[in-house]
Structure 1
Amino acid sequence: MQINRVSASDIDKQHYELVVIGSGFGSSFFLNEALKHIQGRALIIEWGDFHSWDWQIQNQQSSLILPESTYDNPGEKPWNTTIALGGGMNCWFSQTPRLHPSDFATRSLYGVAHDWPLSYDDLEPYYCQAEQIMSIAGDPDMARVLPRSQPFPQPPHKGSTIDMLMKEAMPDHHFIMPTGRARVATGTRGVCCANATCNLCPVNAKFTAENGFADLFIHPQVDVCLKTEVRTLEYEGNSIKAAALRGEEGEFRVYGDVFVLGANAIQSPAILLRSDLDHGDTGRGLHEQVGANVEVFLDGLGNFDGSTITTGLNYALYDGEFRKDHSACLVYFENRWPYGLRPEPGRWNQLLPLMVVTEDLPNPDSRVLIDPATGDAVIDYKGESDYGLKGVQYGLDNLEKLLAPLPVESIHYREKRLTESHVQGTLRMGQADDGSVVDGRMLHHRMRNLVVVGTATYPSCSPANPSLTAAALSIRAANLLYG
């Protein structure tokens, strides 16, 4: 892929109409939409480098920068990010469920977490737009739970025999997983081969920055500055004026009219804190989902005949008054065998791996801090909430009932999931006087030419994968700013 590369020294003291910090879902989808409106030049600043798909496959990694090298983490829990052009679009598994309508109003409905300053209906047309850009393959029956105004761009992947039994018994709750993994080949992507290595897709089937946004990085209005870290933002009054950079050749400064901050939920707050922009709960509320792995032994029914890594999503335990007491629960039906196949003769595939994933309550004491000596990010995480852990137990306790349509022999809890690799919170959106950092337009409450994008802005946690929502929010934010 060709890129309009510039060095940090090339752009020193230059002025751009739009300066975009980071290049993951939030940043790239915002810039893609903004280019329909702006007249001047735009700049992408990315700490990592560009690593082509074939380089990633050959080297079995998405970046040369280890995420743990970019922050100090005294705790055991990993916080996975990808520091490279395209950010998480390189390594994601491309699961793309929408958030549930209730996820946007958990405070109003259930008295927990924070309401979002927008509704599902506000975001719905932008969900459709993001799905079109990524050619999402999805189950039209999902509209029973997640209303939609347009069909999925691609048909759903093939579910397993188990999924078909579950859908027949629970048509309002069991669906084929929507994904950014192609069911039908596109001009730049192959068809998913279901080999369960989605983080490094060997057939280039999933949506990535390289196969989906190549035109963005060669656009005549766009410069791309790689291997350059943004250390601080400089401001006057209520406007950001410049970004201070640290590149391979030294330290530089670039000026702009509008700045978009989409580094990730660790580095974005770190940039603001280093800049003495600690408005509201900046850096606070670091969180992600809580999950557990389960294996179900089946009696006479085989599995693993689906066409992608995760075939089914079950919403039977997702929403209800119980969320006042414990979290929602989403059950993922897997088309892989993380703990091996069954050893009994003739029963190797009579096995159903499940992921039980629940929301967690963002804790303001779980936060990103700055090391006063180095200025680098430090993670101070206080652990999962009782609310989230009770949700996991709720899911485990109800599995036998949920799986009643299947010939279940036994259910085996395997382990707590160490991470979902969905770093969220730290720059939550909300109302101006509620401690939030950005408003419903994703504009910083104090710096009115600073747009904050990505999962850092999430006021609450959903059991669902967050990337599609980050993309839709960015498209909406660009439309509101420029439309």
Structure 2
Amino acid sequence: MDINRVSARNVHQAHYELIVIGSGFGSTFFLDEALKHITGRALVIEWGDYQPWAWQVEAQSNSPIAPESTYKNSGNKPWNTTIALGGGTNCWYAQTPRLHPNDFKTRALYGVGHDWPLGYDDLEPYYCRAEQIMSISGDPDIGKVLPRSQPYPQPPHKGTSVDALMKAAMPDHHFICPTARPRMATANRSACCANARCSQCPVNAKFTAENGFPSLFSHPKVDVCLKSEVRTLEYSGNQISGATIASEGGEYKVFGDVFVLGANAIQSPAILLRSDIDYGQTGRGLHEQVGANVEVFLEGLKSLDGSTITTGYNYYFADGDFRRNRASCLVSFENRWWPFGLRKERGRWDEMLSLSVVVEDLPNPDNRVTIDPQSGQAVVDYRGESSYAKAGIEHVFDNLDKLLAPLPVESINSRIWRPTESHVQGTLRMGIKDDGSVIDQNMLHHRMRNLVVVGTSSFPSCSPAAPSLTAAALSIRAAELLYS
């Protein structure tokens, strides 16, 4: 991938029409849309470096920068981010469900969490556009739960023998997982090889910024400043005017008309707090989903015969009035033996099923990002997941027999809680002005009206669905509305 590289020293005192901080899902999808509208130049500032796909496969790493080195952690829970050009597009597993329509209004419907200031119908056209860009393979039947105005770009992956039984028995709840791992090869990407090494995809199948936006960072209007950390933003009144960059042992300043903050849900609030831009609940409400793995042995049913790592999504526990008291859950049916291993009995190695159980969590303002007063480094203060989330997983554990009734279950052997879902969310949430939120429905900061906040830090609440597709759709919408 060609990149229009510039050093922080080169751009010192320069002025840009658009300055984009970070280069993950939120930033890249915003920039791609913004370039259709701007007449001047754009600058992308990324703390990490460009690590090509081949380097990532060989190194079995997405970045040489360990995420835990970029913040102080007051607890033991890991918070995974990727500090590199492309951000989370490098490390993700490419699951692309939409949020459930009721995920946007949990306060109004169930009295919990925060309502989003926009609804599913507002975002639906932008979901379609993001899915087209990423060449999503998806099951049209999922429209029964997540309404669609356009078909998926690619046909669904081949499900497993387990998925066939589940879909036949639960046609309104069980679907083949939508994914940015294509069923069929595209011009820049191979078909998924189903080898379960998605974080460093060995065949370059899953969508990344590198293969999905191959000319974005070499666009004639774009400069890219790598290995450069934005420390603070300068402002006057309700306008951001400039950014201070730390790079190669020095400090440099750039100026701009519009700023896009898409570092991640830890570093984005840290930048604002270091800049004394502490509006609403800036830095508060840090959260992600809560997850667990389940191992099931099957009696005479061979599985592991699908065409991608995760084949089935089941919405049996996803929505209902129960969400007043316990979390919504999305159950993934896995086409892999991780983390348990294969069965050891002769001839029965594939008579097994791995499930991934993921529930929403309620944002807690006491779970937060602050800054160290001496160094200015981000500090994560996380007090733990809610009893609401725990109740959601425990309910699934207690009712697995109902979910798995269509299958010849021999035994359920293991239930393991996972330490992280690697989806850092919620520290600069969107909402209505003066309700504690930081940005509005168009992703504009309530006070700094030329500052757009993108990425999962903007999420007011936590769906059990993976957030990357929603972050991309929100950015396309924000850019289009800003320049319309």
* TM-score normalised by the chain length of structure 2: 0.99
How do residues 153-232 of structure 1 correspond to structure 2 at under 5 angstroms? 153-232=153-232
Unaligned runs of 5+ in 1: none
Q: Does 1:75 align with 2:78?
A: no
Residues 9, 249 of structure 1: 8 Å contact kept:
no
Q: Which residue of 2 aligns with 1:125?
A: 125
CA distance in 2, matches of 1:256, 1:398: 55
Structure 1 residue 74, shift from structure 2 partner: 2.3
Q: Which residue of 2 aligns with 1:450?
A: 451
CA distance in 2, matches of 1:15, 1:206: 36
Structure 1 residue 158, shift from structure 2 partner: 0.5
Q: Does 1:306 align with 2:299?
A: no
How do residues 412-423 of structure 1 correspond to structure 2 at under 5 angstroms? 412-423=413-424
Secondary structure of 2:27 counterpart: helix
Q: Which residue of 1 aligns with 2:377?
A: 376
CA distances 1:370-391 after superposition (whole Å, capped 9, x unpaired):
0001000000001000000000
CA distance in 2, matches of 1:392, 1:170: 21
Q: Which residue of 2 aligns with 1:472?
A: 473
CA distance in 1, matches of 2:44, 2:332: 36
Q: Does 1:143 align with 2:143?
A: yes
Q: Which residue of 2 aligns with 1:345?
A: 346
CA distances 1:55-80 after superposition (whole Å, capped 9, x unpaired):
11111111111100000012111000
CA distance in 2, matches of 1:433, 1:369: 21
Structure 1 residue 16, shift from structure 2 partner: 0.2
Unaligned runs of 5+ in 2: none
CA distance in 1, matches of 2:291, 2:193: 26
CA distances 1:362-407 after superposition (whole Å, capped 9, x unpaired):
1000000100010000000010000000000111112110111000
Counterpart of 1:391, as a letter, is G
Secondary structure of 1:273 counterpart: helix
Residues 260, 454 of structure 2: 8 Å contact kept:
yes
CA distance in 2, matches of 1:99, 1:35: 27
Q: Report which stretch shifted further, 431-440 or 339-348.
A: 339-348
Structure 1 residue 112, shift from structure 2 partner: 0.3
Q: Which residue of 2 aligns with 1:246?
A: 246
Residues 2, 215 of structure 2: 8 Å contact kept:
no
Secondary structure of 1:90 counterpart: helix
Secondary structure of 1:78 counterpart: coil
Structure 1 residue 153, shift from structure 2 partner: 0.3
Q: Which residue of 2 aligns with 1:13?
A: 13
Residues 240, 259 of structure 1: 8 Å contact kept:
yes
Residues 326, 388 of structure 1: 8 Å contact kept:
yes
CA distance in 2, matches of 1:280, 1:196: 41
CA distances 1:160-202 after superposition (whole Å, capped 9, x unpaired):
0100110011111000010000111011100100000000000
CA distance in 2, matches of 1:214, 1:376: 33
Counterpart of 1:477, as a letter, is A
Q: Which residue of 1 aligns with 2:436?
A: 435
Residues 8, 249 of structure 1: 8 Å contact kept:
no
Q: Which residue of 2 aligns with 1:425?
A: 426
Structure 1 residue 42, shift from structure 2 partner: 0.4
Secondary structure of 2:215 counterpart: helix
Residues 293, 354 of structure 1: 8 Å contact kept:
yes
Counterpart of 2:405, as a letter, is A
Structure 1 residue 413, shift from structure 2 partner: 3.0
Secondary structure of 2:253 counterpart: strand
Residues 51, 85 of structure 1: 8 Å contact kept:
yes
Counterpart of 2:400, as a letter, is L
Secondary structure of 1:369 counterpart: strand
Counterpart of 1:364, as a letter, is P
Identity in percent = 72
Stretches of 4+ aligned residues off by more than 4 angstroms: none
Secondary structure of 2:13 counterpart: coil
Q: Report which stretch shifted further, 86-95 or 409-418.
A: 409-418
Q: Which residue of 1 aligns with 2:361?
A: 360
Residues 126, 475 of structure 1: 8 Å contact kept:
yes
Q: Which residue of 2 aligns with 1:284?
A: 284
CA distance in 1, matches of 2:201, 2:379: 32
CA distance in 1, matches of 2:113, 2:247: 39
Counterpart of 1:480, as a letter, is L
Q: Which residue of 1 aligns with 2:111?
A: 111
CA distance in 1, matches of 2:184, 2:92: 19
Structure 1 residue 12, shift from structure 2 partner: 0.3
How do residues 37-52 of structure 1 correspond to structure 2 at under 5 angstroms? 37-52=37-52
CA distance in 2, matches of 1:434, 1:204: 43
Q: Which residue of 1 aligns with 2:27?
A: 27
Secondary structure of 1:162 counterpart: helix
Counterpart of 2:190, as a letter, is G
Structure 1 residue 345, shift from structure 2 partner: 1.4
CA distance in 1, matches of 2:314, 2:162: 12
Counterpart of 1:418, as a letter, is P
CA distance in 2, matches of 1:248, 1:130: 36
Counterpart of 1:7, as a letter, is S
Counterpart of 1:357, as a letter, is V
Secondary structure of 2:91 counterpart: coil
CA distance in 1, matches of 2:346, 2:203: 33
CA distance in 1, matches of 2:344, 2:24: 42
Q: Which residue of 1 aligns with 2:234?
A: 234
Residues 356, 396 of structure 1: 8 Å contact kept:
no
Q: Which residue of 2 aligns with 1:59?
A: 59
Counterpart of 1:46, as a letter, is E
CA distance in 1, matches of 2:262, 2:293: 31
* TM-score normalised by the chain length of structure 1: 0.99
Q: Which residue of 1 aligns with 2:315?
A: 315
CA distance in 2, matches of 1:375, 1:74: 15
Q: Does 1:87 align with 2:108?
A: no
